Amino acid sequence: MPVKLLILCTVLLIFTASACAPIGAPEPEETSVITTVTEATAPPVEIYGLSFDVPPKKIVCLSPAITEIFYELYLNDRLVGVGEYCDYPPEALTEKVNCGSAANPDFDTIISLAPDVLITQSPIANKDITRLKNAGITLLNIPAVTDVNGIGRLYTDIALLCIGAVPEGMTGGGASIAMPGLDSFYEDMKTPDLTLGKFVYYLSDDFTAAGFDTFPGNFFRKFGLNICDGDSAVMLPEEISPKAVILPAYLSHLADEYFTDSHSRVYILSEEATQFLERPTSRVRFVITELAEDQKAAELEERMESSEEGSDGVEGEDETDGADGEDGTDETAE
């Protein structure tokens, strides 16, 4: 006999509009409504090799991306603590307890909160795993996302963990939960206004190019051909001929140092877009918007330059004709 529980999920009436806002746009005023959801809890939920007979009520999450997803799904009431870099939405750090970073967790604080589950995407030392186990805390280590489909899996897994059900439109029984941000993301991926051609995305100063083992390397494959067609590797600019070079904000200096005279089109991502790629959620769709706008601006500039070069050529011919004789010959030759 399945057990039915009533879960109150907060849903923004105007979330879809905010999901389509450009980078840096002010967020609209939130308006909420209470929705009743029926949850089916049998059989137990299994996530990453762990079995949960009942949804955890108290969770500490050290991952900025996953914390953001909790808030996007309106399941943030389950969070009692977050990592110090979980800064989106901004209220995460003000209304939840700071539990240190993913690289250096504050286990004393975490244990004092007595959560059912600790979520991280970073390795935890064996001695600290033992401390958590002795305190009755389940460690859920979720692998980092390396492709577009992995974003959808994150949303599904968090929904499964918290309500024993999957989002509407995805396989599974039980309740459904609205995900307009993720829906907008996949729609943007289906009909992108962006074409990169052969591209390279650099990860570091030594010209390590993002390969298929990274999220950026796979993400941009939706819009072009990644020259680094395997794991990430060093690819010097002079050894490749990309049509597009994409640089994260922290590598913007490379544009002037190495690509001033390059025939490649260079895209420098904003700090916000760079962060979206480093901690991917549905907001990574704004990277598409930013690059598409940069591409249009670059194409317009190239057309203007081409037009100016054509005009200069015509003016040069006119000046030459004026210096010649009426029959078009150079009078000084006589």
What is the pTM assigned to this prediction? 0.76
Q: How far apart are CA 73 and CA 61, in angstroms?
A: 15
Q: How far apart are CA 161 and CA 140, in angstroms?
A: 10
Q: How far apart are CA 111 and CA 120, in angstroms?
A: 15
Q: How far apart are CA 113 and CA 28, in angstroms?
A: 33
* Buried residues in 110-141 as b, exposed as e (16+ CB within 10 A): bbebebbbbbbbeebeeeeeebbeeeebbebb
* Short-list 121, 120, 117, 119, CA closest to 133: 117
pLDDT tens for residues 119-160? 999 999 999 999 999 999 999 999 999 998 899 899 989 999
Task: Judge residue 298's burial from the number of C-beta atoms within 10 Å of its C-beta, 0-12 exposed, 13-18 middle, 19 or more buried.
Answer: middle
pLDDT tens for residues 152-209? 899 989 999 998 866 554 433 344 455 667 777 777 777 668 899 999 999 999 999 9
Q: What pLDDT is stored for residue 43 in this prediction?
A: 58
AA identity, residue 126: N
